[in-house]
A and B are shown apart, each in its own frame.
Chain A
Amino acid sequence: MIEDLKEKAKELLTSKKVDVVIGYEAGTYKDYASPSFAKTAKDVDRFVWNKNCVNNLAIYITKAKGKVGIIAKGCDVKSIIGIIQENQINREDVVIIGIACDGVEIDGEKADKCNFCDVHTPKIYDILIGDKIESKESSQDKYKEVAEIENKSPEERWKYWKDTLSKCIRCYACRQVCPLCYCDKCFVDTTVPQWIPMSVNEDNNMMFHMIRAYHMASRCIGCGECQRACPMNIPLNILSKKMTKEVEEMFGYTPGVDIEAKPAIQDFNKKEDPDKEFIM
């Protein structure tokens, strides 16, 4: 697979179809893989593909200049779909080197998202590396942790989130690593008006995470990068999954599937759907 991947990447660069190919190279800590940017065919020789290629490289396509080739797993392609739906890049400016993937690992353990993967073969791609892999219906409950929280009493739930989010140091790794968090100016950074004070405490942390979760509703595709990036090991996946579940139930919308679809949050029209409630 890796030879095929390298060959395709080199071809894109030498034919000048793209200015850069974003892929993975061997990391330098534990067995991590690291994002890698190839501008020449020679750079491509650094590329690797293995179980540790967990990073969602879609974060880099809104930052890159010129035409971009990107190595993308099925889940990463979901992010790319979201980015294109939201007009952050043009479909024709990105060459998706989709990769058939049967799961990645974080610190030797299967990544949470891989337990429920429905895109072993990416939904869209320009080039596919590897043989197509059928996605089977997962026997596990995707919303198990969400249900656990939902089953708590409001007081317990409040306490759970208060305690959990009190660990947050507001380094914003969750925001910075998220391919869909592309705002030039994040609500939490504005000073006029200042929505949330900079002080790190339970209330301010809670505000930040709640507003972020709402901003991600109908947009988060569940790549899990926020949770992986969080140095304080806050289970941010639960928050994102809760929002995804709500949107699914209320609007029948699943993000990252259909590039032509309008995300639920952009599609509300009271006149056409007088019976529908707004997202709140």
Chain B
Amino acid sequence: MENIYKPYIAEIKEIVRETSDTTTFKLEFVDEEVKKSFDFKAGQFGEYSVFGVGECTFCIASSPTRKGYIECSFKKVGKVTSVLYDLNVGDKIGFRGPYGNWFPIDDMKGKNLIFVGGGIGLAPLRSLIWNCLDNRDDFKDITIIYGARSINDLVYKNELKEWKERKDINFVVTVDPGGEDKDWKGKVGFVPTVLEEVSPSKKNAVVITCGPPIMIKFVVLSLVKMGFSDEQIVTTLEMRMKCGLGKCGRCNIGNVYVCKDGPVFTYKEIKQFPAEF
């Protein structure tokens, strides 16, 4: 029987410092076979590990349409991420995955997509955004509303520029009041407020949102106010996942294991959960 806890070894090929505490790694699997055959879907996650320190969980932030590598973005917050953050190009880490379900991209075809992201919460959305942009004709209007506490807290800055310039995306970027400087050309305001200002149509639309729990809460309130139905709102949940395999029990909420049955859920599904996340 296969050891489900055995990670692949991946080498760090590129590092992008996103903010003062957030970084992005480009990873390639050392084993050529794995590198060639590894496949995943936007929204899935993995267990990244520093050997001798431990494992930590976050999504795959690159698009499944880009083959041969994966990217991940993480914030330096705990035991493992603090060590991970200080690694260099050429260092090797462990990766188990891909795990969990994914954004229902097939159901999104032919629809208007509205992405609403906050801070590092853009990472899972980015995987899906590029996946959609690489198959642009399959989707109708694409709106991206992204915000962070301040200019310095915005991640993927180069890509934000690229999205801004593209004619086939309606891209809106905002920072919280006080987070701007005098040269700031984007909006100033909290994400839910900006979302209401932009006021995308609910017709034939799907909203995909991810960010800090408090932002998601208010984004959902705004969407409901704007007439979106619970099924139209999709998000990804970050419970404290550990094994990724539906065994260790810590992501259990209601009768689901977030790591197996999620992390992607519609708001309709989330409403069924006990209020404990």
Contact = CB atoms under 8 A, between A and B. Distances in A.
B49 to A, nearest CB: 14
B274 interface: no
A78 to B, nearest CB: 38
Interface string A176-201: 00000000000000011010000000
Contacts of B79: 191-192, 194
Nearest to A193: B79
A191 B79 CA distance: 6
Interface residues of A, number: 3
B5 to A, nearest CB: 15
B204 interface: no
Interface in B34-86: 78-79, 82
Contacts of B82: 192
A194 B78 CA distance: 11
A192 B79 CA distance: 6
Interface residues of B, number: 3
Contacts of B78: 191-192
A194 B82 CA distance: 13
Contacts of A192: 78-79, 82
B79 to A, nearest CB: 4
Interface in B64-122: 78-79, 82
Interface in A95-127: none
B85 to A, nearest CB: 13
A192 B78 CA distance: 7
Contacts of A191: 78-79
Nearest to A191: B79
B222 to A, nearest CB: 36
A149 to B, nearest CB: 37
B75 to A, nearest CB: 14
A39 to B, nearest CB: 25
Contacts of A194: 79
Nearest to B82: A192
A70 B78 CA distance: 40
A188 to B, nearest CB: 15
B105 to A, nearest CB: 36
Nearest to B80: A191
Interface in A139-195: 191-192, 194
A191 B242 CA distance: 15
B74 to A, nearest CB: 15
A167 to B, nearest CB: 25
A191 B83 CA distance: 13
B63 to A, nearest CB: 33
A231 B78 CA distance: 33
Nearest to A194: B79
Nearest to B79: A191
Nearest to B54: A191
Interface in A204-262: none
B81 to A, nearest CB: 10
Interface string B11-55: 000000000000000000000000000000000000000000000
B55 to A, nearest CB: 12
A178 to B, nearest CB: 26
Nearest to B77: A192
A192 B80 CA distance: 9
A88 B271 CA distance: 40
A194 B54 CA distance: 12
B83 to A, nearest CB: 10
A107 B78 CA distance: 45
A50 B79 CA distance: 49
Nearest to A192: B79
A51 B275 CA distance: 43
A225 B79 CA distance: 34
A45 to B, nearest CB: 34
A74 B79 CA distance: 44
A232 B82 CA distance: 37
A196 to B, nearest CB: 14
A189 to B, nearest CB: 12
B44 to A, nearest CB: 26
B53 to A, nearest CB: 10
B21 to A, nearest CB: 14
6 contacts: A191-B78, A191-B79, A192-B78, A192-B79, A192-B82, A194-B79
Q: Which 4 pairs from chain A and chain B are nearest by CB?
A: A191-B79, A192-B79, A191-B78, A192-B78
